[in-house]
Amino acid sequence: IQPCTWAQKKVFRCRDTTGNTNRTNSKYKQSPKEEKLSTIGSGKTSRMIINPSDYMETGSDERCYICKQCGKSFCYISLFRIHIGVHAQHKRLSCTECEKSFRYVSNLKTHMRTHTGEKPFSCKECDKSFSHISHLKPHMRTHTGEKPFSCKECDKSFSRISHLKRHMRTHTGEKPFSCKECDKSFSRIFDLKTHMRTHTGEKPFSCKECDKSFRSVSNLKTHMITHTGEKPFSCKECKKSFNQISHLKTHMRTHTGEKPFSCKECKKSFCQLSTLKTHMRTHTGEKPFSCTDCDKSFSRISLLKTHMRTHTGEKPFSCKECRKSFNQISNLKTHMITHKTYSLKTIFSRRSNLKRHMRTHTGEKPFSCKECKKSFSQIHHLKTHMRTHTGEKPFSCKECKKSFRDAFHLNKHMRSHTGEKPFSCKDCKKSFNQIPHLKTHMRIHTGEKPFSCKECKKTFRHVSSVNAHMRTHTREKPFSCKECKKGFRHLIVAMEKRQHIHMLST
């Protein structure tokens, strides 16, 4: 091919064909016209008008076209036309309402429906309408039952891909939505929004009956049941009904025996998390519920409420037979047994409680120790007893580090530090830190002497007194003086002997 100037005829070899193309200079020098243009990568043909405002000339004999938008230069107008088309493709269309931009007119039209409220796509089954055809299609699956998106982990199926993605987080543990206030994370944006109200205090869902407000609509629905009295969740085993599904699930554990919440200190298990938390206070000694009248503290709110009745004099539990009132339900149940018209089934609402109570009458002890063959009427008594063999003492005093086998003995020991004497005599107002001490003291007022000597029939108020008396018959002298080895029937006499005779002589 001979080189030539623009005024001469040029021969161009086409890249797409093997033929040659003859073009003249006049083609490039005339004013640009509207011509057909192949859009890059689309295979479609569109029309593009090249105006002088779209390009600049170099001013040389060889005319080159420089794009004003990006500065690229082209010596062939055909290539320049293609390049201008690329800019036209990327030119974005703006919404006049909110200034959002879109690449295609169709996208802009769809977006405009969010402002106009237009919903041109209607469901033939239920007359619901949608602004997008893509929203109508998933909705139709609620009628057809189609669930085309399946989980590979557990074979659950979903009607929407978004629901499948959300479900997959239950397997991966992914929680992509984080709270900026406390760094908690959630698997759903909805859960994060609800959680944020714990920081803002926002409660947008109000009850029309009592004006209470709630952070979530689910909490409002649960609350509304307290007004309607509805209990839609029923137990298939005993037909009891509950107003919350969580209460039913907890109740079901009374039938299955499931106790999924275990104490790490003593290995006890519980069917409710709240019960475990309350139990943990027996190890920590925490008593977060305080009486405002006498500064006593309690580990459970129920104990505080019961205690408050000692100040208010309230006795909310009444016997239907004789109208006597009691400040505790347990006292009422004990009293009701005195009326033969009440059956034990009436008094004990749970069959398990009735069975446990009946053992006090039958003497049945179905729980046996494998070490020493002792038997017990209750399983927790056996568990406590087993610690006498294992030596385990999981309940520790924070004051002196002493340890105990059960919470009862720890609580009793704690009074030696606090000086608390909660058991008072009604006759002389003396107080005691243990109930057995009060019972023994009460015999001074009643004159009761329940302990008898088998030899001479003398009676005594204390078992220790009858044991000491028995030595007058047996001549036993178990207490010896360390100095002179003389024996005595009573420990106190041996101590006095050493103190007054031997120590004074030295």
How many separate domains does the chain show? 2
How are beta strands 93-94 and 101-102 bridged, if at all?
antiparallel
In a domain, 337, yes or no: no
**pLDDT tens across 223-282, in order?**
888 888 888 889 998 888 988 888 899 999 888 889 899 988 887 888 888 889 888 888
The DSSP code for 262 is E
Q: Is residue 37 part of a domain?
A: yes
Both 49 and 86 in one domain: the answer is yes
- Nearest-CA neighbor of 406 among 266, 298, 306, 310? 266
Is the four-CA dihedral 114, 118, 120, 123 of positive or negative sign? positive
Are residues 60 and 123 located together in one domain of the fold?
no
Is residue 467 in a domain? no
Same domain for 166 and 116? yes
- Point out the domain boundary residue: 116, 138, 172: 172
Residues 105 and 137 in one domain: yes
- Examine the domain organization and report whether 79 and 113 are in the same domain: no
**74, 132: one domain:** no
Last residue of a domain, one of 109, 142, 172: 172
Same domain (yes/no): 55, 118: no
Whether 80 and 107 map to the same domain: the answer is no
Residue 108 · residue 120 · CB < 8 Å: no
pLDDT in tens, the chain (506 residues): 333 333 333 333 333 333 444 443 333 333 333 333 333 333 333 344 455 555 555 554 556 788 877 888 888 888 888 887 766 655 567 888 887 887 777 888 889 998 999 999 999 999 899 988 888 988 999 899 999 999 998 889 998 888 899 899 989 989 999 999 998 999 989 899 999 999 999 999 999 988 899 999 888 888 888 888 888 889 998 888 988 888 899 999 888 889 899 988 887 888 888 889 888 888 888 888 888 888 788 888 888 888 888 788 788 888 887 778 888 877 777 777 666 555 555 555 556 666 777 777 788 888 899 999 899 888 888 888 988 899 888 888 888 888 888 888 888 888 888 888 888 888 888 888 888 888 889 989 999 999 999 889 899 988 888 888 888 888 888 777 777 777 776 676 666 655 666 555 55
Residue 80 lies in a domain: yes
Residue 51 maps to a domain = yes
* Residues spanned by the domain of 125: 101-172
SS3 content of the chain, % helix, strand, coil (to 5): 40, 15, 45
Both 71 and 123 in one domain: the answer is: no
Residues 107 and 167 occupy one common structural domain: yes
| pLDDT of res. 22 | 42
411 forms beta bridges with none
Q: What is the CATH number of the domain that holds 146?
A: 3.30.160.60
Residues 85 and 121 grouped into a single domain: no
Domain boundary among 60, 91, 122: 91
- Residue 153 covered by a domain: yes
- Cα–Cα distance, 477 to 463 (Å, whole number): 18
The kind and range of the H/E element at 230 are: none
Give the residue among 377, 358, 357 at the shortest CA–CA distance from 367: 377
* CB-based burial, 370-392: b 16+ in 10 Å, e otherwise: eeeeeebbeeeebbbbebeeeee
d(CA 410, CA 424): 21
pLDDT in the model for residue 6: 38
C-alpha–C-alpha distance, residues 454 and 461, integer Å: 15
What whole-number distance in Å separates Cα of residue 377 and Cα of residue 355?
A: 10
* Dist. CA 183–CA 196, nearest whole Å: 11
CB burial of 10-30 (b: ≥16 within 10 Å; e: otherwise) equals: beeeeeeeeeeeeeeeeebee
pTM recorded for the entire structure: 0.36
Estimate the crossing angle of helix 407-418 against helix 273-284, to 10 degrees: 50
Residue for token digits 């909490």? 219
Q: Which string of b and e fits 194-231 if b means at least 16 CB within 10 Å?
A: bbeeeeeeeeebeeeeeeeebbbeeebeebbeeeeeee
- What SS3 string covers 459-476? EECCHHHHHHHHHHHHCC
Q: Are 399 and 405 in contact (CB under 8 A)?
A: no
CB 433 within 8 A of CB 423: yes
Closest by CA position to 362, among listed 348, 373, 377 = 377
Amino acid of residue 234: S
| 109 and 80 belong to one structural domain | no
Q: Confirm whether 123 is domain-assigned.
A: yes
DSSP state letters, 358-408: HHHHH----EE-TTT--EESSHHHHHHHHHHHH----EE-TTT--EESSHH
User: Could you give the CA distance from residue 5 to residue 20 in angstroms, rounded to a whole number?
Assistant: 18
Q: Are 451 and 462 in contact (CB under 8 A)?
A: yes
In a domain, 386, yes or no: no
